[in-house]
Amino acid sequence: MKLTPAIATAVLALTQCSSVCIPCTRDTPILPVDLVLGSDAIVRARVDDYTAQVRGRQNGNRPELRPIRFDVLEVLKGDEVGPSVELQGYLVQGDDFNERTVPYDFVRPAGRKGSCFAFQYKRGAEYLIFFLRHKGAWTLYPDPLAPVNEQLRSSDDRWVLWVRAVWEGAARATQLTGSKIPADAIKPGRTMSHSPIW
């Protein structure tokens, strides 16, 4: 078979394609209540800066993921959350608000480009972040295509108000009944076509 320019371009594109080229899929619906009940911590936090110097390397169509420090402004749920938290991502200039109706049932636009999660953050902007405690460290709640790190318009953003109301209602119901929500009752949709970058 003769290698034509079109075939060569297609082969090159396939070999150079990273996880950005593989679309993320789920086999379960995103249930916002499950995010609230299943996470170990939920915080409202403001982006500070990278915790290490950025080398500017590119990973496909986006900059290399680096640790970003967030100043914790409010803990809606969770214990032992310090004054700051760290997540992998990269800083951008523009906003990335979720245009869907609260309660959100899908990730903000930056997370809809094949990576399963939104990794971009705007310096100085506030985000509502859902965490899971993994091996003693806080990690982004691993629910692909879910609204686990949404940018907020204000401290009383409708998403914050909704999440707070659900958690306070669940905590009050637990207090009144003396029963707890079984850990296996909350099952995030972890099925995806590839593993996310943590």
Q: How far apart are CA 141 and CA 156, in angstroms?
A: 22
Digit-coded pLDDT (tens) for 105-145: 999 999 988 788 999 999 999 999 999 999 989 999 999 99
The model's pTM is 0.77
The residue ranges of every structural domain in the chain are 18-185
Q: Which CATH architecture has domain 18-185?
A: Beta Barrel (2.40)
| Tokens found for residue 90 | 């990269």
- Give 32-60 pLDDT, tens digit per residue: 999 999 999 999 999 999 997 756 555 56
